[in-house]
Structure 1
Amino acid sequence: MGEVAVDSASEGARTPAPEQASEQAPEQATALSPRRRKARGRGRKVVALAVLVLLAGGGVTAAKLGLGDRGSGDKAASELPPSTAEVTRRTLKDTQSVDGQLGFGPTTTLTARRPGTVTEAPDAGDRITRGKALYGVDGRPVTLMYGSTPAYRALKQGAEGADVRQLEKNLSALGYTGFTVDDEYTAGTADAVREWQEDLGLAETGAVELGSVVFAPDAVRVDSVAARKGDTVGPGGKVLSYTGTEQAVTVELDPADQRLAKKGREVEVELPDDRTVKGTVQDVATVIEPGNGQGEEAKTKVEVVIGFKDAAGRKAADAYALAAVHVDFTSETRKDVLTVPVGALLALAEGGFGVEVVHGSASEYVPVTTGLFADGRVEISGKGIAEGTKVGVPK
């Protein structure tokens, strides 16, 4: 919108009235008059102010704004800018800070698979590892084993599948032998299961009943307990909820910001004491929250789990059980690029961007190609633009 206003003003300055055309033609063929050059310089700066309002937020590229390099040759400026800055080489980062919650990551609800009376229950905060009981029903333990596939059927000799392999991996890790870890539940597997059942004081059937084992990716921390010792539970009834054992930061993003969270990407976490530690995105999941009725629509969120990258970060986070934190995501990095303050950028009347390059007591407008905008600076490149080049900036 600003460019249109300047174009019309510039055309008014450049185009003489019909009766004056023959008199002014020689002057136009050589150079602009001082008065007209000054008008063009001011016009460009007005456009720059309008555009820079949009760009001042930083962290965007000209391409994202639909503004490319449409510049022409160099144009002379008639007066020096009020102040100057040097083109410097540095690394720019597109960083966005969001609020997060320090805890132990997302919670998982554990429900009963078989009815009975709770005879063993943990306390909130307990840590449970492979082979240990999460809780007990009618005197029989419900045992934790590691794996990503949930228990969904009873397993016995003749069964085949990934869940069989998962069970056998756990039996092997617990020290049971006599079978091959594969997808087949063989007689050797059944014998190992009998030994395991004997150690737990269970009937030695050689088969794993549905509901006797719970699979989780790793050791768990009990977050809350719903069914206490002596309570009666039925299939589907909530028993407890658990998290991982390592502290983690959970962040909710709008779907439009999902580009920030890529699995494995490094982030910075600012703790309540203002210390900053490094983290890594461990998991990204889309979560749909149903509406509360009354015509309210469901909401879609992107849930991001961030773990601490090193021992120093984990130690710093240990000071807090739960805390609000800030997470800085960097979605784009431009290393060792030429940059100027955003205020140095001008929107040229003929299109595109430029800067006013100062040479001693003179200056000229030089078209440039813009890259990343971040931290109040912009990446630029163009003819004659080098580290140390002086460019005009507002006071």
Structure 2
Amino acid sequence: MTAVERRHRRTRVLVGGTMAAATAAAAVAAALGFGGGESGATTPRRDMPAATAHVVRRTLTDATNLSGRLDYGATAPIVSRATGTVTWLPPVGSLVGRGGVLLRADDRPVPLLYGALPMYRALAEEAEGPDVLQFERNLRALGYTGFAVDEEFTKFTAAAVKRWQRDLGLPATGSVGVDQVIYGPGRVRIAQHSVRLGASADAQVLTCTSTTKVVTADVQTTDAGWAIKGTKVQVRLSSGASVAGTVAAVGDEGTAGLGESGESSSGTSGGQDSDGGSESQDDTVTVTIAITKQKALRGTGPGTVDIRYTAERRENVLAVPVVALLALAEGGYGLEVVKNSGADSGPRTRIVPVRTGLFAEGLVEVHGPGITAGATVGMPE
């Protein structure tokens, strides 16, 4: 059986026509005298593929590439319950840590303390509870001693509070009002002023971000299957250097503002929309990628970066263009292998069944008898 006859029994993957149709059309044209040749001339039988490609040995990578932005991540509001007028705010871009001042109201400092519980009541002698423990831990971390760090606000705690208040320039009352501190998860970077000097201090006064740089990307929900917390990625910076990253959050996670106890201020990116409808396929989800080696980001300002997630990587495999595959009538796939010019007489091609592996980059990994690097295979026109 010739190669042409064998090709009549097979269809080439992703190709709309067949060689059989082309051969039949040529035969009809010749019979009717439309072949363009001289009378009595015969059309030579074709025994070579229309085009060819070579089997290559290389590394195949199934990867997702997308653009993201390097900056300090999502912003969160800083809400003050202080009474009076805002008389000072920290500069945008400055860092505020435990005990640092987030604002001054009527020229009284309102410091940042660390903790998950908001300041929901005044603390004074005989107060008990986890909020007392949280406050005392902060007081101890700021260097004040002479009291037990527990859930009881004692006279010894009050004495330490008085020392702290005097150091801040506040009246030494020994008690702490709800308007005197703001709790947050840790050190913050001031992103924006939400009010001007002279505004009421009982309001959202600032927005803040994390102090570490992260990469964020808005990904179509239909394409975000890879974005799972803990997934490893590579981030290519504007300088050309690459750094390792890890998916830290998907959607609006952990963006509740400082001084707030309610829902995240950043809204939602999934589930139901504001009208109660279901999420559409065009919606996006924000993927946040943490960069462990922050030193690698020194000197790199906010800007666009490239993100690469590698789902699978196959090294040193044989590959051909996907369109070179033939769907065999008996099932599976094959390749039309072209014989060397010095081979024995007979058909110039033969069909070799192959096993396929990874599909990536327009190529497919193949394994089969006689399939070697450099071999020539048939391709559609």
Same fold (TM over 0.5): yes
Q: What fraction of aligned residue pairs are identical, expressed as a percent?
A: 34
Cα 1:305–1:297 shift into 2, 3 Å: closer
Q: Which residue of 2 aligns with 1:250?
A: 216
Does structure 1 retain, via aligned residues, the 8 Å contact 2:356–2:364? no
Deviations 1:203-262 (A, max 9, x none): 44444322322233332222211323322243xx22111122333332222222333333
Q: Which residue of 2 aligns with 1:304?
A: 287
CA distance in 2, matches of 1:210, 1:297: 40
**Counterpart check, 1:363 vs 2:350:** yes
Deviation at 1:174, TM superposition (A): 1.6
**Counterpart check, 1:138 vs 2:124:** no
CA distance in 1, matches of 2:279, 2:49: 57
Of 181, 193, 209, the residue aligned with 1:225 is 193
Deviations 1:342-392 (A, max 9, x none): 343333344443434566555333142433x32232344x55487748362
Of 345, 363, 366, the residue aligned with 1:377 is 363
Alignment of 1:1-395 (within 5 A): 32=1, 36-40=5-9, 43-45=10-12, 47-49=13-15, 82-98=51-67, 100-156=68-124, 157-161=126-130, 163-179=131-147, 181=149, 184-187=151-154, 189-234=157-202, 237-272=203-238, 275-280=240-245, 281-286=247-252, 288=268, 301-311=284-294, 313-317=296-300, 320=301, 322-323=302-303, 325-336=304-315, 338-340=317-319, 341-356=321-336, 360=340, 361=343, 362-371=349-358, 373-380=359-366, 382=367, 384=369, 388=373, 390=375, 392-394=377-379
Does structure 1 retain, via aligned residues, the 8 Å contact 2:81–2:201? no
CA distance in 2, matches of 1:342, 1:316: 43
CA distance in 2, matches of 1:297, 1:256: 11
Farther-moved stretch of structure 1 (122-131 vs 279-288): 279-288
Cα 1:92–1:33 shift into 2, 3 Å: closer
Does structure 2 retain, via aligned residues, the 8 Å contact 1:88–1:339? yes
Cα 1:279–1:44 shift into 2, 3 Å: same
Cα 1:96–1:385 shift into 2, 3 Å: farther
Deviation at 1:304, TM superposition (A): 2.3
Q: Which residue of 2 aligns with 1:25?
A: none
Query: What amino acid is the match of 1:288?
Result: T
- Secondary structure of the residue aligned to 1:172 is helix
CA distance in 2, matches of 1:105, 1:124: 15
Aligned length: 322
- Secondary structure of the residue aligned to 2:251 is strand
Deviation at 1:116, TM superposition (A): 1.6
CA distance in 2, matches of 1:192, 1:374: 65
Cα 1:384–1:34 shift into 2, 3 Å: closer
CA distance in 1, matches of 2:122, 2:138: 16
Deviation at 1:198, TM superposition (A): 2.9
Does structure 2 retain, via aligned residues, the 8 Å contact 1:136–1:142? yes
Deviation at 1:109, TM superposition (A): 1.4
Does structure 1 retain, via aligned residues, the 8 Å contact 2:190–2:209? yes
Deviation at 1:314, TM superposition (A): 0.8
Cα 1:37–1:131 shift into 2, 3 Å: same
- Secondary structure of the residue aligned to 1:215 is strand
Farther-moved stretch of structure 1 (354-363 vs 256-265): 354-363
More helix by share: 1
- Secondary structure of the residue aligned to 2:298 is helix
Query: What amino acid is the match of 1:86?
Result: V
Deviation at 1:143, TM superposition (A): 1.0
Deviation at 1:279, TM superposition (A): 4.4
Deviations 1:276-314 (A, max 9, x none): 431423333245269799x99998542223344435631
Does structure 2 retain, via aligned residues, the 8 Å contact 1:259–1:331? no
Deviations 1:324-356 (A, max 9, x none): x13323151234363413343333344443434
Name which one, 1 or 2, has greater alpha-carbon Rg: 2
Does structure 2 retain, via aligned residues, the 8 Å contact 1:252–1:302? yes
Cα 1:353–1:205 shift into 2, 3 Å: farther
Instruction: For structure 1, list consecutive stretches of 5 or more residues without a partner in the other structure.
Output: 1-31, 51-77
TM-score scaled by structure 2? 0.69
